[in-house]
Amino acid sequence: MQNKGAILTFAILLAAVCLFQLSFTWKSQKIQKDAIEYAQGDPEKEFNYLDSMKSEVVYNFLGLKKYTFKDVRELEMNLGLDLKGGMNVTLQVEVKDIIKAMSNYSDDETFNKAINQASELQKNSQADFVTLFGQAFEDIDPNAKLASVFNTLELRDKINFNTTNAQVLDIIRAETDAAINNAFNILRTRIDRFGVAQPNIQQLQTRGRILVELPGVKDQNRVRNLLQGTAMLEFWETYENQEVYQYMLQANDKIKQIEDAAVKTDATPEAKEEITTEESTESEENSLLSELEAGAESDSTAGLDNLSDFKAQYPLFSVLNPSTDQTGQLYPGPVIGMAHAKDTAKVNSYLNNPLVKSIFPRDMMFRWTAKSADKAGTYYRLIALKVTSRDGRAPLDGEVITDARQDFDQFGSNPEVSMQMNSEGAKVWQRMTKENVGKSIAIVLDGYVRSFPTVNGEIPGGRSSITGLESIEEAKDLANVLKSGKMPAPARIIQEDIVGPSLGQEAINSGLLSFLIAFALVLVYMLFFYSKNAGLAANIALVANMFFIFGILASLGAVLTLPGIAGIVLTIGMSVDANVLIYERVQEELRAGKGIKLAITDGYKNAYSAIIDGQVTTLLTGIVLYLFGSGPIKGFATTLIVGILTSLFSAIFLTRLIFEWQLRKGGRILFTSTKTENWLRQTKIKFLEKRKIFYVISGIFILLSVGSLFVRGLNYGIDFKGGRTYVVRFDQDVKVAEVQDALAVVFESAPEVKTFGESNQVRITTDFKIEDDSENVDNEVEALLMQGLQEGGFIDKSVSLEKFTDDYQLSSQKVGPTISDDIRKDSAIAIGFSLIIIFLYILLRFRNWQYGLGAVAALAHDSLIVLGIFSMLYGVLPFSLEIDQAFIAAILTVVGYSINDTVVVFDRIREFLGLHPKRDRDQNVDEALNSTLRRTFSTSLSTFVVLLAIFLFGGATIRGFTFALLIGVLVGTYSSLFIATPIAFDTQKRVAKVVSKIKKK
The residue ranking higher by pLDDT, 14 or 885, is 14
pLDDT at 775 over 80: no
Averaged pLDDT, 251-265: 82
For residue 874, count other CB atoms closer than 10 A to its CB: 19
The residue ranking higher by pLDDT, 690 or 445, is 690
Alpha-carbon distances, residue 69 vs 29, 63, 557, 591 (angstroms) = 11, 16, 16, 59
In percent, the amount of the chain with pLDDT more than 90 equals 8
Residue 723 contacts residue 815 (beta carbons within 8 Å): yes
Phi, psi dihedral angles at 791 (to 5 degrees): -70, -25
Between CA 294 and CA 766 the distance in angstroms is 65
Q: What's the pLDDT score for residue 829?
A: 77
Averaged pLDDT, 869-879: 86
pLDDT at 79 over 50: yes
pLDDT at 700 over 90: yes
Averaged pLDDT, 62-82: 80
Strands 491-499 and 559-560: unpaired
Q: What angle do CA 293, 294, 297 make, to 5 degrees?
A: 80
Res. 283 pLDDT band, cuts 50 70 90: very low
Element (H, E) at 210: strand 209-215
Q: What's the pLDDT score for residue 474?
A: 74
DSSP line for 264-332: HH---HHHHHHHHHTSPPHHHHHHHHHHHHHH-SS-TTTT--SHHHHHHH-TTTTTSEESB-TTSPBPS
Q: What's the pLDDT score for residue 688?
A: 86
Residue closest to 645 by CA, chosen among 559, 548, 576, 556: 548
The domains found in the chain, sorted by start residue, are 4-75 (no CATH), 95-194 (no CATH), 233-491 (no CATH), 497-673+687-712+821-992 (no CATH), 723-814 (3.30.70)
Gyration radius of the chain over CA positions:
34
Between CA 277 and CA 127 the distance in angstroms is 54
pLDDT at 947 over 50: yes
pLDDT at 498 over 80: no
The residue ranking higher by pLDDT, 501 or 651, is 651
Residue 30 contacts residue 12 (beta carbons within 8 Å): no
b/e per residue 666-698 (b: at least 16 CB within 10 A): eeebbbbbeebeeebeeeeeebbeebeebeeeb
What's the mean per-residue pLDDT of the chain? Answer: 80
Alpha-carbon distances, residue 181 vs 91, 171, 191, 230 (angstroms) = 13, 15, 15, 14
* 3-state class (DSSP) for residue 814: strand
Res. 279 pLDDT band, cuts 50 70 90: very low
pLDDT at 598 over 80: yes
pLDDT at 364 over 90: yes
Count Cβ atoms within 10 A of the Cβ of residue 307 and give its class: 0-12 exposed, 13-18 middle, 19 or more buried: middle
Q: What's the pLDDT score for residue 359?
A: 92
Q: What's the pLDDT score for residue 698?
A: 92
Strands 559-560 and 78-79: parallel
pLDDT at 595 over 50: yes
pLDDT tens sequence across 287-327: 333 433 343 433 444 444 566 777 778 888 888 988 887 77
